[in-house]
Homo-oligomer: A and B are copies of this chain.
Amino acid sequence: MQADKSEVSKATLMRLPSYLRYLYELDKNGVTTVSSTMIAAGLDLNPVQVRKDVACVSTVAGKPKTGYALKELIADFENYLGYHNTRDVILVGAGGLGHAILSYDGFKKYGLNVMAAFDVDENVIGRDINGKPVYEMSRLPELVKRWGIRLGIITVPSQSAQEVADIMVAAGIKAIWSFSAKHLNLPADIALKHEDLAASLALLRMQLVSMTD
């Protein structure tokens, strides 16, 4: 019943990876069919919401009384999320967080391949982090074009984030994943996802305060 991808809500899209992780777990435990009720219980969600979300992704209907065939459902999710369709990306800012991301091989299973990093710091340029070369910033445009890169990760201090984003966009990058604490002004046709840890923290602190103070 797979819907047109543009019709799937942002909220649904962001839940899909957690469904898939749960399905992998069930699969590892030898489960062969799964119901919306089971998924909902496992992830603290509403069963109706699970059925709606699954309907966006799955190519075959679930069976009343039994639920969904697990292997099929996993394949549908992987396919929908493009986990087998690897995309090359680059990263700018080989500092603490950049280093951690370069060292983390887990993005590969999400279909993300970090080709290289870029930095302005002489001390890291030319080095190798987890097998990934760190190049001088000035080489970014050339290599982005050569590799056909469309997604860039920003892990630089906030005061440099806008400048780096502008360089990425000029080089032809179409989507930016930023971990810098800075609002980026970008052309409307560039996709942007900003990880704002201060925002998360504000939410968590307030929950904590309202709960026990």
Contact = CB atoms under 8 A, between A and B. Distances in A.
Interface of A: 5-6, 8, 10, 13-18, 21-22, 42-44, 81-82, 87, 96-97, 99-100, 103-104, 106-107, 110-112, 150-151, 158, 174-175, 177, 181-183, 185, 189, 191-193, 195-212
B202 A14 contact: yes
A22 B183 contact: yes
Interface SS, A side:
helix
Contacts of A103: 96
A6 to B, nearest CB: 5
A192 B14 CA distance: 17
How many copies the complex holds: the figure is: 2
A87 to B, nearest CB: 7
18 contacts: A5-B210, A13-B206, A14-B203, A16-B199, A17-B199, A17-B201, A18-B198, A21-B158, A96-B100, A97-B97, A97-B104, A100-B100, A111-B205, A150-B208, A174-B212, A175-B204, A191-B208, A193-B201
B18 A196 contact: yes
B16 A183 contact: no
Given A106-B181, A212-B150, A203 B21 contact: no
B193 A203 contact: yes
Contacts of A192: 204
A17 B185 contact: no
A174 B6 CA distance: 39
A18 B199 contact: yes
Contact of A210 (B6, B17, B150): B6
